[in-house]
Structures are given as structure tokens and as C-alpha cells.
Amino acid sequence: MTIDTETKIYGVLGHPVGHSLSPTMHNAAFKQLGINAVYLAFDVEDIAAAITSLRVLAVKGASVTIPHKQEVMKHLDVIDPIADKIGAVNTIVARNGKLWGHNTDCNGAIEALLAQTPLDGRRAVVLGAGGAARAIAVGLQSHGCRVTIVNRTIERGWRLAEDLNAKFIPLADFNSSDCDILINTTSVGMSPNTGTMPIPARLFAKSMVVMDVIYNPLETKFLQTAAAKGCRTIDGVAMFVNQGALQFELWTEIDAPRDLMRKIVLQKLSAQ
Ligand code: ATR
């Protein structure tokens, strides 16, 4: 790829960003489609200064990751209604001299689910009450799901559920009786603690569609157990690739090469 005076700059703003899969994924997509653009990793602690830099350097777009997804919002010019409802931005788009904030985590998860199951009228259980839980729960509700938040810490789970007008069950009391779709957004089972899962094996039922947002490892104990019970499963790379593909489409207005992006991410993960 030739970098010249026309090359457009994109990047991820986060801290840390050393293990981000986004540069490899987005640069492969730019290359495949012959787009003169580059995607870099910016390890930034001062998000206000980083946003000023985007403006000054005419950066075309950025991903935003931990710990800046909420804080970044007040430095942008326009917030998309879904991002506003979620209270977090993971994508910045420079459009007509303004910086827009979007959230593609939500629709990234929804796309991954819709590839496996209808959502309207289904009962969905979201395990966890952090940022990922909130983004996914908002998306599920907007697609007609009845959402239950299940969390270890009652106060935090209850607050999220109340905010979204969803049901809440403490993790210790969860018995999976009213559940068609089960989604893990907790960090339980993430490398290096790969032998753990947030609920016991007996709570999986064959009829459930089960998704994990963790992609390291790709096959978490949660997903392995679900698959062994006969559930349809969706791995964390599906959501990760979809949120990236939706970012790519917001930036370029060109269909993202999703298959290539998934292949590249899987290659990178297996090399780690
Ligand atoms: P993110 O914003 O990335 O979604 P987070 O804000 O760190 O993540 O939230 C992590 C979620 O994992 C929380 O719901 C947390 O539960 P608590 O609210 O009780 O802390 C959940 N979690 C983390 N470790 C857990 C564990 N060992 N058992 C059950 N839930 C756990």
C-alpha cells in the first residue's frame, strides 16, 4: 500500500491499546477494497486532548475503547440516538466538519444474533451489568425482546434494569426458566481464567441460543457447555467483527468485507 498526501487517517483511542485487534482488521479491509486509508492505534489517557487532535489533524474517524467510551461523549458535536440511549460511544465519524458519536457494539451484537434467531417476542437474559450488557440490552429491546438482566452485584444490576425498564434477577437466584436467548457479557471465562463460567451447566437448555461476548478464548467454557447441551452458539468474534464492520461502513459508506475481517481476526487470535 502506498501512503501519500491523500491517505486518510483512522485509529483507535484507548488505554491500553497494545492488544487491540482493530488495526489489523481495519487495515486488511482498507487494503482489500483498495481504499487509500490507514488505521493506527493511539494509546491516549487524555481523551479531551485526543479529540482536539482528531479535529486539528482532520482524522476521518476513530474507534473508542476502554476507558473512554463514556467520557468521550461530552467532547463530540453530535451523538447518535442509540449511542445516547446506551450512554457510550465506540465510534467517531468526521462528517461535514463535525465529529459524530455512534455506538456499533449494540447493532454488532444484534446482527450476530439475528443471523441465528428472530428476536421479536423472545425472552433474552443478559448476564452482567457493565457497558456491554447495556449496549446489548438496548438493542434487544429495540428489536422486541423481553430482557432480563442477571448480575452478581444486586445494586448494579437492579440499577441497569430499572433504567431500561427491564426485569432483574440476582445471579445467585437465576434458574433460566424463562429464557430463549442467553448472553454472557461478564468477564467470567476470559483468558487466563478459562475454566470458569458465570452459571452452572445445569441451567443450559437445548432450546436456547447462547452468545458470549468474550473472544479470548474463542470457545469459552460457557459456549462449550452450551454446545454440548445442543444449544446454538454465537462466539465473541461475531460481535467484534460486526461492530468493526459497522464502523467501517459508517466511515467509508462501502459494504465491509465481513468474511475477510473475521478471517483476519481469527488468524490474529490463534497467533497470540
Ligand atoms: P464491560 O463494561 O466491559 O461490559 P464491566 O463494567 O467490567 O464490563 O462489567 C463486568 C461484568 O462482569 C459485571 O456485570 C460484573 O458483575 P458485578 O457487577 O457483580 O461486578 C461481572 N463479573 C465480573 N466478574 C464476575 C464474577 N466472578 N462473577 C459474576 N459476575 C462477574
Say how many Å lie between the CA of residue 160 and the centre of ligand 1: 13
The protein residue with its alpha carbon nearest to ligand 1, atom 8, reads 130
pLDDT by 10s per residue, the chain, length 272: 789 999 999 999 999 999 999 999 999 999 999 999 999 999 999 999 999 999 999 999 999 999 999 999 999 999 999 999 999 999 999 999 999 999 999 999 999 999 999 999 999 999 999 999 999 999 999 999 999 999 999 999 999 999 999 999 999 999 988 899 999 999 999 999 999 999 999 999 999 999 999 999 999 999 999 999 999 999 999 999 999 999 999 999 999 999 999 999 999 999 88
pLDDT of residue 140: 98
Say how many Å lie between the CA of residue 108 and the centre of ligand 1: 20
pLDDT of residue 176: 86
The DSSP element (H or E) to which 27 belongs, if any, is helix 22-32
Whole-angstrom distance, CA of residue 212 vs CA of residue 234: 7
Nearest atom, ligand 1, residue 131 CA? 2
pLDDT of residue 157: 98
Query: Which string of b and e fits 88-109 if b means at least 16 CB within 10 Å?
Result: bbbbbbbeeeebbbbbbbbbbb
Whole-angstrom distance, CA of residue 35 vs CA of residue 32: 8
Nearest atom, ligand 1, residue 132 CA? 4
Beta bridge partners, 160, equal: none
The protein residue with its alpha carbon nearest to ligand 1, atom 21, reads 186
Q: Do 160 and 134 touch, CB atoms closer than 8 A?
A: yes
**Pocket residue to mutate for ligand 1, from 89, 186, 212, most atoms within 8 A of Cβ:** 186
Q: Count the neighbouring beta carbons within 10 Å of the beta carbon of residue 6.
A: 8
Known catalytic residue: 69?
A: yes
pLDDT of residue 272: 80
Which residue out of 8, 31, 60, 69 is catalytically annotated? 69
Whole-angstrom distance, CA of residue 127 vs CA of residue 137: 10
Q: Do 69 and 89 touch, CB atoms closer than 8 A?
A: yes
Say how many Å lie between the CA of residue 152 and the centre of ligand 1: 8
Say how many Å lie between the CA of residue 130 and the centre of ligand 1: 6
